[in-house]
Amino acid sequence: MTHSQPFRLDGRVAAVTGGASGIGRSIVLHLARQGAQVVILDRDATGAAAVASEATGESGLEVSSISCDVTRATEVEGAFGRIAEVHGGLNILVNSAGIGQVATIADTSEDDLDRLLAVNVKGAFLCTKAALPLLMASGGGVVLNLGSIAALIGVTERFGYSVTKGAVLSMTRSVAVDYMSRNIRCNCICPARVHTPFVDKFVRENYPGREAEIMETLSRYQPMGRMAEPDEVAALAVYLCSDEAAFITGQALPLDGGVLLT
C-alpha cells in the first residue's frame, strides 16, 4: 500500500451527493484533484454543472453531474443506473447532501422533522442502498457520510438536526459491520461549525446589522476560535476515501476545533 504520491484516487469512480455547494463542492474538487472520476448528484442542476466544469478545469478529468433529488427513490435509482452505464462501476460514495435547522423540540414542527429526516437520513439511506451493489461489483469501496458533532454531544437549538445526524452515525456503523466482509468501508466525518455560504446567508438573513457579532459568536464556539473551512473537511474526506485509510471503518471522526475537549 505505497504510492509515489499519497492519497491518490486514480481510476476510482466517486459519486458525491450535495456537490453543488459548500462542503460537497470542496469534496468534489479535492477528489478530482487526486485523480477520481467524480459524478455530482444534486437537485441544483445549474450549480452542480458549474462545479463539474470548475473541477474538470482544475483536474483535467471529466467531472460530470446528474440532477437528482436524494429523497426520491426513482431519481436515486436512475442516477446510479446512469453511473453504472457510463462509468462501468463505482468505488466511492460520499453522502454530503444535507439540510439544517435552528430550533428546540418545542419549536420543531412535524413538517420540519419530516423534511430533515427525508434529506439527511432517507437521502443517505437511498443513495447507499443504490450504491452498494455497484461497490460490491467493483470488488469493494468506500461509503463516507457527512455527520456532525451534534451526533456526539448536545448542541443547543439543534433538535431535529441532531436527531438526523445521530441516525446517520448509526447508519454508518451498521453498514460498516454488515459489509466489512465485502471489502466495503463506511465512516462518518463529524465537523463542528463549518464556514460555508449557507452560514453567511443564514446570518445575513436572520441577524441584519449584527453579522460581525454573530459570526464572532459562532467562531468562538470552537475553542480554537474559528469555524472549520470546507477544504479542511474535504481533506479529511480524501484521506478516508484513499487506501491510506484502509484499516479504518465504522468510525465517527471529529473535525471540531477542540469542542469535544471542553
DSSP output for 134-178: HHHHTT-EEEEEE--GGGTS--TTBHHHHHHHHHHHHHHHHHHHH
Place of cell 465504522: 250
Q: Catalytic pick from 161, 179, 221, 239?
A: 161
CA gap 10, 84 in Å, rounded: 18
Q: How many residues does the chain have?
A: 262
**Buried-exposed string 230-241: b where 16+ CB fall within 10 A, e elsewhere:** bebbbbbbbbbb
**Residue 7: left if φ>0, alpha if ψ -120 to 50, beta else—which one?**
left
Place of cell 438536526: 161
Q: Judging by beta carbons within 10 Å of its beta carbon (0-12, 13-18, 19+), is residue 219 exposed, middle or buried?
A: middle
**DSSP classification of residue 194:** B
Q: Assess whether 161 carries a catalytic annotation.
A: yes
Catalytic residues: 161
